[in-house]
């Protein structure tokens, strides 16, 4: 649609924006939408497959066909429309993301970030205190207070791919400390709650991918 000079202007505007933001790009001839050129953003997944997700499209045609205009300092002008899709479709994006991480999301993306597990009912009060304190900081946490063995609880945490498992037994209750297990099987004992919260919040803030 439209005149070639309008397409040339639109293509130049997109190219200049990519150069200004130091974004690597290549030109795919004749791959624009029928109403104007576009920037397609591609990503590679863990299997090195290429996916086109986000797209930014410059549309000089639709505003003209709708007779849109605005009043500028030097008179009337026809606006330019920018079509923007961040994920393509949200469902497709989530599917790619799950497959890329094999369900093992980084902490900041994980639906449940921490599981707190009590060894016996005597530790339940302190386990609740820890859980509630984590919730206060916006950390996505669950308390597993079932009357099950810790090995079984840990296996389930591993299967659910939850980043941190906190175990609280008599020793932890007495010392007001935590035993922290990560998904890779490393365990730290005698961890204090406040430093643990600080570590988690930093990891979330920095969007770390380990």
- Block residue for tokens 């094999």: 102
Is residue 210 in a domain? Answer: no
What is the SS3 assignment for 3? coil
Question: Quick one: pLDDT at residue 54?
Answer: 86
**Counted domains in the chain:** 2
Domain annotation covers residue 31: yes
DSSP bridge partners of 56: 39, 84
Is 35 in the same domain as 122? Answer: no
Predicted pLDDT at 17: 93
- Which of 68, 101, 134 is the last residue in one of the domains? 101
pLDDT for residue 108: 95
The CATH number of the domain where 124 resides is what?
A: 3.40.50.800
* Domain interval for residue 147: 114-205
Give the pLDDT confidence score for residue 162 in this predicted structure: 95
For residue 139, is it within any domain? yes
The C-alpha atoms of residue 6 and residue 60 are separated, in whole angstroms, by: 7
What is the rounded CA–CA span in Å between residue 112 and residue 108?
A: 9
Same-domain pairing of 15 and 88: yes
65 shares its domain with 144:
no
Q: Round to whole Å and give the CA distance between 61 and 79.
A: 10
pLDDT of residue 88: 73
Q: Which residues of the chain have pLDDT under 50?
A: none
In a shared domain, residues 77 and 127: no
Question: How many other C-beta atoms can be found within 10 angstroms of the C-beta atom of residue 180?
Answer: 19
């Amino acid at each position: 649609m439209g005149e070639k000079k309008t397409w040339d202007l639109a293509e130049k505007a997109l190219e200049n924006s990519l150069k200004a933001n130091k974004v690597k790009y290549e030109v795919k001839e004749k791959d624009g939408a029928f109403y104007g050129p576009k920037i397609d953003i591609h990503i590679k997944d863990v299997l090195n497959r290429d996916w086109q997700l986000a797209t930014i499209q410059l549309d000089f045609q639709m505003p003209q066909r709708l007779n849109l205009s605005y009043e500028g300092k030097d008179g009337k002008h026809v606006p330019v429309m920018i079509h923007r899709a961040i994920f393509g479709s949200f469902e497709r994006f989530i599917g790619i993301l799950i497959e890329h991480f094999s369900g093992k999301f980084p902490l900041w993306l994980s639906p449940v970030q921490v599981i707190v597990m009590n060894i016996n009912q005597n530790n339940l009060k302190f386990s609740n205190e820890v859980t509630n304190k984590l919730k206060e900081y916006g950390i996505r946490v669950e308390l597993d207070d079932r009357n099950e063995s810790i090995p079984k609880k840990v296996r389930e945490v591993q299967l659910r791919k939850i980043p941190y498992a906190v175990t609280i037994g008599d020793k932890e209750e007495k010392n007001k400390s935590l035993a922290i297990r990560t998904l890779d099987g490393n365990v730290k004992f005698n961890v204090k709650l406040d430093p643990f919260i600080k570590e988690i919040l930093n990891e979330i803030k920095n969007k770390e991918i380990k």
